[in-house]
């Protein structure tokens, strides 16, 4: 799986998304300009010590991304989409793109990708969800459709720790 962040502005969101990508074996693609430097403390703090394990690529702009990924199947996450994110069948190597926090994905890009645009349902006039929450929601649906391939599905409960908690 691949997550694309189009011109992200808030370092904590990108750090959180980076951590989610490491936890899921997902590649992160960042399209400049970024609203921060990649060496900023906030990014590392939000991504904790996982940032060093992140598979991340930075692109000059959207055209640079398209040039370097000519066969990319891209789903565009936007509040303007007609399709709900659960109605899509995600391919294992697809890309899911999210726009910058203040403005989303530019309309001209969305118009070229109407059929692969997806939305997370919300009530009322809520403008959008937090970017890192949105990435987690859609990414985990795509991973669920792949049966969480290569991910650990079982946890371990240690009986004695439950006894101590009483």
> What would the pLDDT profile of 30-71 be if each residue is shown by its tens digit?
999 999 887 767 666 665 678 789 999 999 999 999 999 999
Please indicate if the annotation marks 99 as binding a ligand: yes
- Spatial separation of the C-alpha atoms in residues 24 and 130, rounded to whole Å: 19
End-to-end alpha carbon distance in the chain: 41
Q: Nearest CA to 5 among 91, 76, 82?
A: 76
Domain span at residue 62 reads 2-165
SS3 of the chain: helix, strand, coil, percent, to 5: 40, 15, 40
Give the tens place of pLDDT for each residue, 10-39: 988 998 999 999 999 999 999 999 998 877
Q: Give this prediction's pTM.
A: 0.89
- CATH at residue 23: 3.40.1280.10
Order of strands across the sheet that contains 95-98: 56-59, 27-31, 2-6, 95-98, 74-77, 117-119, 83-84
> What token pair was written down for 131?
């970017």
| pLDDT band (50, 70, 90) for residue 105 | very high
Q: What tens digit of pLDDT does each residue of 119-144 get?
A: 999 998 888 899 999 999 999 999 99
Torsion over CA: 141, 142, 147, 150 (sign): negative
pLDDT at 36: 83
Q: Do the annotations mark residue 120 as ligand-binding?
A: yes
Closest CA to 103 of 67, 128, 140: 128
**What domain count does the chain have?**
1
Distances, alpha carbon 115 to alpha carbons 74, 112, 119, in Å: 10, 9, 12
Half-sphere exposure of 36 (CA within 13 A, CB side): 18
Count the Cβ atoms, other than its own, within 10 Å of residue 102.
9
């Amino acid at each position: 799986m691949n997550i694309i962040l189009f011109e992200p502005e808030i370092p904590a969101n990108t750090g959180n998304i980076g951590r989610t990508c490491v936890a899921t074996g997902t590649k992160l693609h960042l399209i400049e300009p970024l609203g921060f430097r990649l060496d900023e403390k906030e990014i590392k703090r939000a991504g904790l010590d996982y940032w060093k394990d992140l598979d991340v690529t930075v692109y000059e702009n959207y055209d640079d991304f398209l040039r370097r990924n000519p066969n990319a199947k891209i789903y565009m996450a936007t509040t303007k989409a007609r399709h709900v994110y659960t109605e899509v069948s995600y391919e294992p190597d697809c890309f899911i793109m999210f726009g910058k926090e203040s403005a989303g994905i530019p309309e001209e890009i969305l118009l070229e990708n109407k059929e692969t645009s997806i939305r997370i349902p919300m009530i009322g006039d809520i403008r959008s969800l937090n970017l890192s929450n949105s990435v987690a929601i859609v990414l985990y649906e795509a991973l669920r459709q792949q049966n969480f391939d290569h991910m650990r599905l079982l946890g371990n409960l240690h009986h004695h720790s439950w006894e101590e908690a009483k």
